[in-house]
Structure 1
Amino acid sequence: MHYTRIAPIFLCILCLTSFKSPVVKEIVVKNNLNYERKEIVTVPISFIRIKSKEIPLLEVYQNSKIVISQLIDMNGDSTYDQIVFQATIGANETQTYKIQVGSKKATAPSLTHSRYVPERIDDFAWENNLVAFRTYGPEAQRLVDQNEKGGTLSSGLDCWLKRVDYPIIDKWYKKYVDGGSYHKDDQNEGYDPYHVGASRGCGGIGVWKNDSLYVSKNFISYRKIAEGPLRNIFTLTYAPWKVDDVTIQETKQITLDVGSQLYMVEEFIHSSGSIPNVTVGITLHDKKGVTSADSTKAWFSYWESIDDSELGTGVVIRKGSLIKYIDYRTPKKDLSQLYVLARMKSPKLMSQPSQLVYYTGFGWKKAGVITSKDIWNNYLDKFSERISSPLWITFK
């Protein structure tokens, strides 16, 4: 999920090198931090210089052992744009990987999954081996607008608390269709006790202005980009919404990697005028939990009790994007939230959207990975360090 930094000195070499099949491209990956990192490395196919027909046969090797990889077509033109693989690199360590054309493509179960869910009105849900989420579509909004039963009016993001490493989305929705409830943990897989309501849930956005949060309604369309053993990518688009007399057009691209408690959100916003910020929110529910924040490293956390366990939710943004945060408390239902106010990156052309990148997600104590507030805050702290110091990648 983290962007990797590619050393430019090697790029000119690519243009002068001719390859014979099988193509061998050596990739040197360096970790500049003083602890081990297990992250997804992204390599543009354009850096490999390969015939189109050979791209589906690309494999990644380390020390002659095949490494799980995934090919991704970002723009839907039926041509792969990226190959990604998972690297585990020790403190201040450098490792070398090889990409080549082969025939022994490593297979692995898809531990990331996302889909539109028409059988539950029209949710959109996504998950990896650690966490799961959902949000709500136009039919759920229509039911509310027309005072019919079963609707949900919200662009907030819901947490599904799973404690197994296999996919649960399809299974839990089938349980719902069969008359059961995913709000009960009756199979020791997890459940959905997380309340969103009118809040931002875990990482929804809005614009904070004059002590009010302006927000969109439900998403109106989606586009799936990638699904596989390592990475899931999709977009959600929202109907135009207003901040006073300014019209906002919003699309968010979500990327969830295997092994991560957080997913990356790339917000793309066109506005008819200036807006003071984009604000990422975390609901404080009954306000009995503990908020934590590090403005220097730009991470923000809420740790709360939930039924017979505990839950940490959080937001991490890039340090240069932070304006400020607000621990906002009110007697109004669902509106007490931890707000992270951020500035967007301005586009180079007026026709392009402004952009904000942030990360959000959770850790549930019963899942056995994040078992205390201190562990959760430390996770967010190191996550911030990793996005500030991405893996350094060079090509031989």
Structure 2
Amino acid sequence: MSKLMKPFKLYLFFALSILIIACGKIEKPIKTITVKNPINVSRTFETIEIDGATLGLDQQINLDELAVRDNEGNYYMTQTIDLDGDKKADQILFQIDIAANESRIFELIHDASLVQKDSVSWCYSRFVPERTDDYAWENNRVAFRTFGPVAQKMIEENIKGGTLSSGIDAWLKRVDYPIINKWYANNDKEQGAYHKDSGEGLDNFHVGVSRGVGGIAKKIDSTYYFSKNFISWETISTGPIRTSFVLTYADWDAAGNTISEQKLISLDYGSNLSKFEISLNGVDTISAGLTLHEKTGQIKPNPEEGWLSHWESLDDSELGTGIVVPKKQMAGFEHYLTERKDESNLFAHIKVNNGKVIYYAGFGWKKSGQFDTKESWEKYLSDFSKRINNPLEIKMN
């Protein structure tokens, strides 16, 4: 080797070393996160939720500047959420798949250039004033809506086109991209357009005064009472991983009992079930319901695992709806049948703890290709129950 080559190679070695060290400094993790799946069930679309307050970071570090990678060097899509409205992120989210009984390691890195973002709000929600005043939400699998005060006032004043219901409507989509804005825009051009399936799905799910997919009621003696339409709304987050919002209702009466109700609803990417966190005063139990429509569907209660299922024929396909309640919070159920229009529901009775109830409710449409049979839908609910009752074990170093 020539005398000239030796210094050149030595220089190259040191130059590469400096570059590697510099890159190492940029990508040095500020936290290591170990995630363990404690059960013998593989899990997909699991949202890891980390509160900024638990990280102990310098106040100058913004959660929006944190990237997430695994120990193989793969970077993950993230979403941050401002929970208290102070314009600063309080939580960082990312999603993983994890095998049965597996442990995985992830790193948080303070380098905004490495943050993986997605310009599409796959998990989306908004207030819809152009269609009276709905509030609608969706992800890549399902969509929902419920109804506001103008729709209620129209009913009370005998104006055509109103809706009086605190039930949850299901929009049956069979594409993974967002459809809410498109369907409402089409409906503006052609009244009732979203009641026809042009290849993306449709709204053929009747709610009326039923509980739809997870609306609540209070039973006193032999009668169920429930609120009217929401009176105010607040969008908290939309993004690639989660949408969340708050709906507030006017106080309502249940046989002399005054009940206050505020719903925090969220929907994560990959999930068929919305999460309901409801603040309540005036009751110690509440009932979440699934409409039974023509009362010809098949029900499957599983109080041991904490879920209820209803499977029915709907036009040229079939539909499963379900409610999942966290462990030991279901106080019973009722297959409630009545001749009163839209008031037959399958109810899960849920305990109110410290003024709150938590449950999950949603649906699976056969025509979407997600669930072919009643049994596959019930297995989804059973696995979902196992997941929420056995959360991932997360440790940070």
Indicate whether the TM-score tops 0.5.
yes
In the TM superposition, residue 335 of structure 1 has moved relative to its aligned partner by 1.1
Residues 231 and 256 in structure 1, CA contact (< 8 A), matched pair in contact too: yes
**Runs of 4+ in structure 1 over 6 Å off:** none
Cα distance, 1:23 vs structure 2:
5.0
The 5-angstrom pairing of residues 128-207 of structure 1 reads 128-207=139-218
> What amino acid sits opposite 1:301 in the alignment?
S
Whether 1:107 and 2:117 are equivalent positions in the alignment is yes
CA distance in 1, matches of 2:53, 2:197: 49
Deviations along 1:72-106, one digit per CA (max 9) or x if unpaired, are 11111112111010011111000000011111221
Q: Deviations over 1:134-176 (max 9, x none)?
A: 0000000000111111110000000000000000000000011
Matched, 1:69 2:78: yes
User: Which residue, 40, 54, 60 being the options, matches 2:47?
Assistant: 40
* Structure showing greater relative contact order (alpha-carbon pairs closer than 8 Å, 6 or more residues apart): 1
Whole-Å separation in 2 of the counterparts to 1:270 and 1:197: 26
Contact 1:202 1:361 in 2 (8 A): yes
Match of 1:54 among 45, 56, 61: 61
Paired position in structure 2 for 1:261: 272
Deviation at 1:22, TM superposition (A): 5.5
**Distance across 1 between alignment mates of 2:27 and 2:313:** 57
Comparing 276-285 with 175-184, greater Cα deviation is found at 175-184
Between the aligned partners of 1:35 and 1:321, the Cα distance in structure 2 is 22
Q: Is 1:384 the counterpart of 2:394 in the alignment?
A: no
- Alignment of 1:80 with 2:86, yes or no, is no
* Alignment partners' CA distance in 2, 1:41 and 1:276: 31
| CA distance in 2: counterparts of 1:128 and 1:37, whole angstroms | 18
Equivalent residue in structure 2 for 1:94, among 89, 93, 103: 103
Distance 1:100 1:252 in 2: 35
Cα RMSD between the aligned structures?
A: 1.5
**1:216-250 CA distance string (max 9 Å, x none):** 00000011111110011100000111122221111
Please give the TM-score of this superposition, normalised by the length of structure 1: 0.90
In structure 2, the CA distance between the partners of 1:388 and 1:186, relative to structure 1 (3 Å rule), is: closer
TM-score, structure 2 length as denominator?
0.90
Q: Which of residues 281, 286, 289 in structure 1 aligns to 2:289?
A: 281
The 5 A counterparts of 1:251-330 are: 251-271=262-282, 275-330=283-338
Distance 1:20 1:164, change over 3 A: closer
Residue 12 of structure 2 is matched in structure 1 by none
For the 8 Å contact 1:112–1:230, the answer to whether it is kept is yes
Amino acid in the other structure paired with 2:292: L
1:207 touches 1:276 (CA, 8 Å); kept in 2? no
> 2:125 and 2:160 mapped to 1: Cα distance?
26
Partners in 1 of 2:184 and 2:194 — Cα distance?
A: 11
Corresponding residue SS for 1:54: coil
Aligned-residue identity in percent: 43
Distance across 1 between alignment mates of 2:108 and 2:281: 39
What does 1:209-224 correspond to in 2, within 5 Å?
Answer: 209-224=220-235
Partner SS state of residue 319, structure 1: coil
Q: Deviations over 1:176-206 (max 9, x none)?
A: 1112434434420000000000111110001
1:223-280, Cα deviation, whole Å (9 max, x unpaired) = 1111110011100000111122221111000010000000100010122xxx352000
Residue 31 of structure 2 aligns to which amino acid in structure 1? K
Question: What do residues 36-91 of structure 1 show as CA deviations (whole Å, max 9, x unaligned)?
Answer: 11200101111222234432211111121210111111111112111010011111
The amino acid across from 1:226 in the alignment is S
Q: Structure 1, unaligned stretches of length 5 or more?
A: 1-18, 347-353
Residue in 2 aligned with 1:363? 364
Separation (CA, whole Å) in 2 of partners of 1:320 and 1:186? 40
Count of residue pairs brought into register by the alignment: 368
Q: What letter corresponds to residue 393 of structure 1 in structure 2?
A: I
Corresponding residue of 1:5: none
* Contact kept? 1:137, 1:220, Cα under 8 Å: yes
Larger Rg: 2
Secondary structure of the 2:211 match is: coil
**Quick one: distance in 1 between partners of 2:303 and 2:317?**
28
Match of 2:10 in 1: none
Output one character per residue of 1:330-373: Cα deviation in whole Å (capped at 9) or x when no partner. Answer: 22211111011111102xxxxxxx00000000000011011110
Counterpart Cα distance in 1 of 2:296 and 2:333:
19
Question: 1:328 deviation in Å?
Answer: 1.0
Provide structure 2 residue ranges, at least 5 long, that are not aligned to the other structure.
1-24
Mapped to 2, the partners of 1:255 and 1:186 lie a distance apart of 26
Q: 1:245 aligns to what?
A: 256
